């Protein structure tokens, strides 16, 4: 991993992160939903939905960018995680792609501080330990390819138990 980037796992509310971008665990309509998606739309205000309507949706594993409107974050990167179906339907590849596509979009826009939620681990049912391992590996790979591309990357978990799982996964790739 590049020594230049700070990569931390924190417990808290993603909608309060004052980063260049927060990543939304959206659905393929990009028109809002429950979980962190609903919280982001509530905090950003109705102009976020208006911009999302112009995007025409987003396939699973890809990412799209909007402004952050009333959020502390300047931008929202919307990505669509896979629904957990037991692991045999390309879930890991698609989840890794969410992280890679989000960071690539951030790089394209010169965004250097990015906060991620635990994509797919809520309503979409992805087991947290498996999701954390995929997330950490995908971010680590991208950081190896783009050293110096970012200042801060945060994994923001809603509860301490999830944060411990993501922290273990980050530690595992850091020490590998």
In the complex, the residues that contact ligand AR6 under the rule CB under 6 A are 13-15, 25-27, 33-37, 39, 81, 117-124, 156, 158, 162
Is 159 labeled as catalytic in the residue annotation? Answer: no
Nearer to ligand AR6, 11 or 141 (CB): 11
Distance in Å, CB of 16 to ligand AR6, minimum: 8
**123 Cβ neighbours under 8 A, 6+ residues apart:** 33, 34, 35
Q: Is residue 95 helix, strand or coil?
A: helix
Residue (53 or 148) nearer to ligand AR6, CB: 53
Per the residue annotation, which of 20, 37, 152, 159 is the catalytic one? 37
| Nearest CB to ligand AR6, comparing residues 15 and 149 | 15
Nearer of residues 7 and 158 to ligand AR6, judged by Cβ: 158
Measure the CA–CA gap between 134 and 51, rounded to whole angstroms. 30
The minimum distance between CB 30 and ligand AR6, in angstroms, equals: 9
Least Å distance, CB 121 to ligand AR6, is 4
Residue 96 has a CB neighbour count (10 Å cut-off) of 19
User: Residue 152's CB: how many other CB atoms inside 10 A?
Assistant: 15
The CA angle 57-61-126, to the nearest 5 degrees, is 115
CB of 144 to ligand AR6, least distance (A): 26
* Complete DSSP assignment for 50-69: HHHHTTT---TT-EEEEE-T
- Name 154's bridge partners: 8, 115
| Catalytic residue numbers, as ranges | 37
């Amino acid at each position: 991993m590049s020594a230049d980037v700070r990569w931390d796992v924190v417990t808290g509310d993603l909608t309060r992160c004052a980063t260049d971008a927060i990543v939304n665990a959206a659905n393929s309509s990009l028109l809002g939903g429950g979980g962190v998606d609903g919280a982001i739309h509530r905090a950003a205000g109705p102009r976020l939905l208006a911009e999302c309507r112009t995007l025409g949706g987003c396939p699973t594993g890809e990412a799209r960018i909007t402004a952050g409107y009333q959020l502390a974050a300047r931008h929202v990167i919307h990505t669509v995680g896979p629904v957990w179906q037991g692991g045999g339907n390309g879930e890991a590849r698609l989840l890794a792609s969410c992280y890679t596509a989000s960071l690539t979009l951030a790089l394209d826009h010169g965004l250097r501080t990015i906060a991620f939620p635990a994509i797919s681990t809520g309503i979409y049912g992805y087991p947290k330990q498996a999701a954390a391992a995929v997330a950490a590996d995908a971010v680590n790979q991208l950081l190896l390819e783009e050293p110096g591309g970012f200042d801060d990357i945060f994994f923001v978990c809603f509860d301490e138990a999830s944060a411990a799982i993501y922290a273990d996964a980050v530690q595992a790739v850091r020490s590998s």
